[in-house]
Chain A
């Protein structure tokens, strides 16, 4: 087999896998509503506002409910203690409320 043929075969396999991955993503995305149903129902019933992703501090557990200065709560200019605090951006403008 020529080397170029081998390259085309490998690339064709990769492209087929990529097409398979895209197809998988599209099919799964169509099922997103049903697979997230349990979580959405629970969030609705309990009136939850945040994901349980960062449980290390209260302002990272509930970033949407945190005080605006939460990462600096110990004193002004205090550095953030918690690693997941580095994911948080400064609060977005709230429309003047």
Chain B
């Protein structure tokens, strides 16, 4: 046992010396490898954490949101639709929602204005999200001027800034009273943006949604499950931008492993020839090359994973911020709750460490099985 361990240690010593002899090449290889693992692991951590956070935050989203459609586009819904929907068997409650968007030419930001159904702000007062407070540099008691659709200035006083802990859902929100909302957008009295429907029995959601469509063919009901599925789809690593990021990283890894697998340098070939001629077995040479592969790939994998974890969960993924922000001015400041998905990380391990180690061994095995004299002369 000790002899076998000592043999591994001796070969590992030799492997490390051999790697250090080609220092520049191996350091660049290690840095590239670490960066690829870092990029892949960051995407995995970020998407998993956001998916879980979206599911938890939106757990109590409305059972059904009913939108009115006109020529395939979302339109304002008459509030009397709500009265008729409330009469459908299985419907517990229907509430009209008043919300919309306001483009602020002052800083090119888009705000989401919402009229809370419960405890709305008093007339002339608003509650604002942290993002709005940040970009407009507003605090409690400050005045915010909004331009109405009649080109009149509506002065509103900031009564409260929403909790920073809730920024992921409230960064761009402005909570406003109903009268101020209708004045701002010249919003007719008898319509709402959409309706939310609460259903007594969650098993009957689809049935109730079908009844709503049958009664009002010009409406589109959106179920809670669809809302939750939306975020699963956005942050699914097999879709959208994620697949582009992953494909780029995986392709660069394939090129890099391919370069390694297609052959050894003349110097490495000569080294194998010398080792064989002084009495090393083919198995010793293979063990040496395995250790070389393991040293680089295992270290790069572990450091890449640790850096990715720190990037996403301690520094809030600043490298992804620009991609997510796009042309938007407001971006929530949030710290994700860490999620460590063993399945995804194991998959990453098998997709990076194993192919690289195999790619190191195969050409060495080919070189180790030929005559030492030929290997030294090649």
Residue interface bits B149-173, CB-to-A below 8 A is 1, else 0: 0000000000000110111111111
Q: Does B226 contact A (CB under 8 A)?
A: yes
Residues of B within 8 A of A38 (CB): 163, 165-166
B112 at the interface (CB under 8 A from A): yes
**Closest chain A residue, CB of each to CB of B9:** A4
In contact, A11 and B337 (Cβ under 8 angstroms) = no
Q: Inside 8 A of B222's CB, which chain A residues have their CB?
A: 49, 64-65
Counting contact residues on chain A (CB < 8 A from B), the size range is 35 or more
- The number of residue pairs between A and B whose CB atoms lie closer than 8 Å in the complex comes to 232
Chain A 1-38 interface mask (CB, 8 Å, partner B; 1/0): 01110110011001101100110111011011101111
CA of A52 to CA of B114 in the docked complex: distance in angstroms? 13
Q: Among B12, B52, B169, which residue has its beta carbon within 8 angstroms of that of A32?
A: B52
Q: Is B368 an interface residue (CB 8 A)?
A: no
Determine the distance from Cα of A80 to Cα of B73 in the docked complex, in whole angstroms: 17
Are the CB atoms of A32 and B56 closer together than 8 Å?
A: yes
Please list 30 pairs of residues, one from A and one from B, whose beta carbons are closer than 8 Å in the complex, sorted by A's number. Answer: A11-B299, A25-B340, A33-B56, A35-B165, A36-B53, A37-B165, A38-B163, A43-B61, A43-B166, A43-B169, A46-B114, A46-B117, A47-B117, A48-B114, A49-B58, A51-B58, A51-B168, A53-B332, A54-B328, A55-B110, A56-B110, A58-B101, A61-B101, A64-B226, A65-B65, A84-B323, A87-B240, A88-B233, A88-B240, A89-B233
**Interface set of A (CB-CB < 8 Å, partner B):** 2-4, 6-7, 10-11, 14-15, 17-18, 21-22, 24-26, 28-29, 31-33, 35-58, 60-67, 69, 73, 82-89, 92, 94-95, 97
